[in-house]
Each structure stands twice: as structure tokens, then as C-alpha cells.
Amino acid sequence: MRILFLFLDGVGLGADDPHTNPFARAAMPNLASLLAGRRFVATSAPAEATRATLKALDANLGVDGLPQSATGQAVLLTGINVPAQLGYHYGPKPNPETAAFLQDGGIFGRLARAGKRAALVNAYPPGYFHGVESGRRLYSAIPLAVTKAGLPLSTADDLKNGQAISADFTAEGWRERLGVSDIPAFSPYEAGIHLAGLARRLDFSFFEYWLTDYAGHGQDMQTAVSLLEKVDAVLGGLFSAWDFEHDLILLTSDHGNLEDLSTRRHTSNPVPLLLAGPGKARRAFDGVQDLCGVAPVMEQLFL
């Protein structure tokens, strides 16, 4: 079995209110079809459909304050209640105390040491690596875990060679903002097919999508709806090429944000756990109620 972990930063399950929640307004036919017509909102979870399960997970983890990216992502990668051990939520980038929990690479390190093929399939431009090497930029929790596991981060060459995918799926940002033109150009649907192809080469593939969190902070409904409709088109391509009988797609987040545009801040809403694939693999997550439960179950499925 393969697992594709789709991480959407800053996505909670919010009210079914199109005035504040872009998930209640956007046309997302591919996601709705997977969930037997349900919207991606709080009242839809829990839900069981033919090929998918939707659960609501607690991202607050018994700690005061709003959940933050660094500690939330560290929990997803390790299964450890990092905010509870620290006594606070922290983000966006890991401080030394949060980074200490990722020194073994989290789920990436555990699977790599067990001989599994694991990778973060996002490609990073040269400026990213220069920024890290110079000390001007800090790794976020996910690439930090990957590097601590001894695994490489994908580069512009990997993107050009079809061995990775851009953070915006289509590489539009690379071409328009970075001036990189000699890379594959994808429509959102084609990007989903490409993502499925990358996942087939690995046991565990991870894709990080942070634009959802940016859109939430921006509080622009039109931008948020457009973004979600693009994501749904990517999912359409991914679903068309996915082996639901044998392989699992896992989609979740670190904290709420985009689902409530009435605030610029993160939210305390539960985050989704969407599982699409074999029923046996989905049922393995039956007891998972918060972010801490995700990594241990994935590890069980592999090891």
C-alpha cells in the first residue's frame, strides 16, 4: 500500500455559511462527489462514503491559545503532543524547542530507516536553498523533518525532469514570479494526474500546500473561492489516476484559518481528516480524535 499525505495548511471545518466560509461557497464537485454530495464543512463530519471517510480532529490538544503551524505540523509528523509538552502553541517556523522534536525526522525518518521510500514531493527554487544556507531563512517544520531524516529536498532540476511538483501545483508561480520557463506547465487537472504519478513511485509521499493559510489570512472571499476551486480541479485529476482499491490519500491540516474569513487569525475549529482509499486502511483511523493520532496509524500501516 502507498500513502499520499496531502497537507493543506490552515484548513479547518467551519460553519456552513457562504458569507464567512469559502468552502460553503466554492464549487468543488470532485470533493463533493467523493463525499457523496457533502460539503467540506463541520456538519459533514463524521461521514462515510463508498471510497472515503471524513473525520474532524482536535487541533487544540488541550493547550490554551490558538493552534499554530510549527507545533501543529510537528504533532502530525511525530504523533507527540508537542504543544502540551511545551505548554504553548508556536509558529509559523519552529523555535529550537519545537525543532528538537523533529531531530529524528519524524515519520519521514521512521519510514526511511525501515527501508521505505519516503519523500516530500514539493520542489524548492535555488533562492530557497540560498536563504537557508545563509541563515536568512528558517526551515518550516516539514522540510526540517525531511532533512533531519537524511532525505533530500527536491530542486528546480527535479521539477524540470518531472520528479517533483511545484507548491502551487501548476508551476505558474515559478514561471511568473521566478522567471523559470523551462519547466513543465500543468493545468490543475493535469497537476493532479502528475501528483498521482509521483506517488506511485514511492511508499510514502507528502505534499505541502501553504497557499490555503495565506488566503485565510488575506480574508478575500473571491481569492479564497478561486483557490479552492483550483484545488478541487487538482483533486479531480488525482482521483482519476488513483488506485482507490490499494492506495490511500490522507488529507489533513495543522489548524483552522481559511474556513472563517471573518478573522485574520487562526481558529480553534477542528481540522479535517479525509481518507480516500481501501476501507481497511480507513478503518485503522477509527480511534483517531486529534492530530496526535495520525502519524502512529500511518506507521502501523507501513510497519
- Tens of pLDDT along 270-296? 999 999 999 999 999 999 999 999 999
Beta bridge partners of 28: none
Helix (H) or strand (E) segment spanning residue 222? helix 221-241
Which residue, chain included where needed, has cell 525543532?
Answer: 99
Rounded distance, CA 149 to CA 145, Å? Answer: 6
pTM attached to this predicted model: 0.97
Range 170-187 average pLDDT: 92
Q: In the structure, what pLDDT confidence band is assigned to residue 195 with cuts at 50, 70 and 90?
A: very high
Q: β-strands 3-8, 248-252: how paired?
A: parallel
**What is the per-residue pLDDT for 171?**
95
**What is the per-residue pLDDT for 201?**
97
C-alpha cell at 209: 500546500
- Ordered strands of the 248-252 beta sheet: 47-48, 52-57, 271-276, 248-252, 3-8, 204-209, 118-120
Range 117-140 average pLDDT: 95
Tens of pLDDT, residue by residue over 217-254, are: 999 999 999 999 999 999 999 999 999 999 999 999 99
Spell out the residues 6+ positions from residue 122 whose beta carbon is closer than 8 angstroms to its own. Answer: 153, 154, 164, 165, 166, 167, 207, 208
Instruction: Please report the sign of the dihedral spanned by the C-alpha atoms of residue 96, residue 131, residue 123, residue 153.
Output: negative
Which residue, chain included where needed, has cell 493552534?
Answer: 67
Contact 290, 281 (CB under 8 A): no
Smallest Cα–Cα separation from 200: which of 247, 233, 245?
Answer: 247
Q: Which fold has domain 3-302?
A: Alkaline Phosphatase, subunit A (3.40.720)
For residue 278, whether the previous peptide bond is cis, meaning omega lies within 30 degrees of 0, is no
C-alpha cell at 297: 496509524
Percent of the chain with pLDDT over 70: 100
- Asked whether residue 181 carries a pLDDT value surpassing 90, the answer given is no
Name the residue type at position 249: I
Range 151-157 average pLDDT: 97
- Provide the mean pLDDT of the chain: 97
C-alpha cell at 247: 492506495
**What is the per-residue pLDDT for 303?**
87
Smallest Cα–Cα separation from 21: which of 48, 52, 47, 43?
Answer: 43
Beta bridge partners of 256: 267
Helices 188-200, 221-241: axis angle to 10 degrees equals 50
Tens of pLDDT, residue by residue over 50-108, are: 999 999 999 999 999 999 999 999 999 999 999 999 999 999 999 999 999 999 999 99
Rounded distance, CA 253 to CA 9, Å? Answer: 5
**What is the per-residue pLDDT for 15?**
98
- Asked whether residue 110 carries a pLDDT value surpassing 90, the answer given is yes
C-alpha cell at 166: 511545484
Count of other CB atoms within 10 angstroms of residue 234: 27
Spell out the residues 6+ positions from residue 250 whose beta carbon is closer than 8 angstroms to its own. Answer: 3, 4, 5, 6, 273, 274, 275, 294, 298
Segments making up each domain of the chain, as ranges: 3-302
**What is the per-residue pLDDT for 191?**
98
